[in-house]
Structure 1
Amino acid sequence: MFKCYLFKVFFFILNLSLFLLLDWITKSWVSSFFRNSFNKQLIPGFLDLVFVENTGIAFGLFAGNNGFWEYFTLLLILIGFIFFRKKIFTNIFHMLVSSLIFAGALGNWIDRVIHGHVIDFIDAHILEYHWPAFNLADAYLTIGFVCILLESALSSKRTFKKTT
């Protein structure tokens, strides 16, 4: 299906762009309408919309030092692309998962550069036990890395069965 290299690149960039656009639209929507201590219950006891300006990295760790995180994140994105560029285009699964991961990293990096912080707005919780607020870019990264781990585990399991 994906024999032509240029088509593979187009497919990857299209998905990356769509994921980035969706991340940007949701963050813009939340920023425009829900600033100033906003909290909207979506699913009682489980899911709320909130507005959080996160100056840290994942889960608000290491708040502040935005200049450092901007450069560090960009460096990781570039290293990741250089290191995985051949694997990205091997099949549709890798193209989709890679576009999720790079869209997540770029979405949060763009936020840091433009706003000086990342806009988080999804508050998942079980009753009063809250997970740190996150956004679609964070979800993209998580889903992408979970897919890679699952593929790696399944692939090594298949390899182990073949050798025994």
Structure 2
Amino acid sequence: MATKKKTSFASSGSNAGMAPWLGIAAIIVLIDQITKVTISKLFVFGESRPVTSFFNLVLAYNKGAAFSFLAAASGWQRYLFTAIALAAVIFIIYLLKRHAGQRLFCWALALILGGAIGNVIDRTIYGHVIDFLDFYVGNWHWPAFNVADMAITGGAALFVFDELRRVGK
């Protein structure tokens, strides 16, 4: 009977079934914030240090969204992107609760959740997101990004993979 309850709880989406996914999100937030604080302490804004022939560490601030979308706006975008991220966090928690037993789907959601929370923390505390990873080829640089961005991108890729796998069944 106890085994049946545990299975029932996990599939019905109880908090116990959500715990591993929330733990993954928390680890992402922790790594994201530790790396951002470290870079902020070691660099001054705009400073860049070469690491390889295609990668620098740099302290950059992004007041916009992905690829600095709306970064030059007057400041209202901070609140818009924070609100969008908080709505996404609420929706992701709902999905995690509802689908806690779907491993790959929940991995994707947990990564996106951790990344979203990491960037919301930045927007709330600093008014911008701290970016520090700068990859480039020749003189062409990708927009700088951070651990939260990597988690969101990785989660999105896992989500697409999971959906393609599901469609293929």
| TM-score with structure 1 setting the length | 0.85
Q: How does 1:1-164 map to 2 (within 5 A)?
A: 3=7, 5=10, 6-44=15-53, 46-63=54-71, 64-65=75-76, 66-83=78-95, 85-87=97-99, 89-158=100-169
Structure 1's 72 and 10: CA in aligned 2 closer, same or farther, altered over 3 A?
A: closer
SS where residue 30 of structure 1 aligns? helix
Task: Give the distance between the partners of 2:134 and 2:154, measured in 1 at CA.
Answer: 17
Unaligned runs of 5+ in 1: 159-164
| TM-score with structure 2 setting the length | 0.83
Overall identity of the aligned pairs, in %? 28
Aligned pairs, number: 155
Per-residue CA shift, 1:124-164, capped at 9, x if unaligned? 12222111111010000000001110121122123xxxxxx
Query: Over aligned residues, Cα RMSD in angstroms?
Result: 1.9
Task: Give the distance between the partners of 1:41 and 1:8, measured in 2 at CA.
Answer: 43
- Whichever residue aligns with residue 41 of structure 1, its letter is P
Paired residues of 2:92 and 2:109 also in contact (CA < 8 A):
no
Instruction: Identify the residue that residue 162 of structure 1 maps to in structure 2.
Output: none
- Where has structure 1 moved over 6 Å in runs of 4 or more? none
SS where residue 148 of structure 1 aligns? helix
Q: How many Å apart are 1:84 and its aligned residue?
A: 5.2
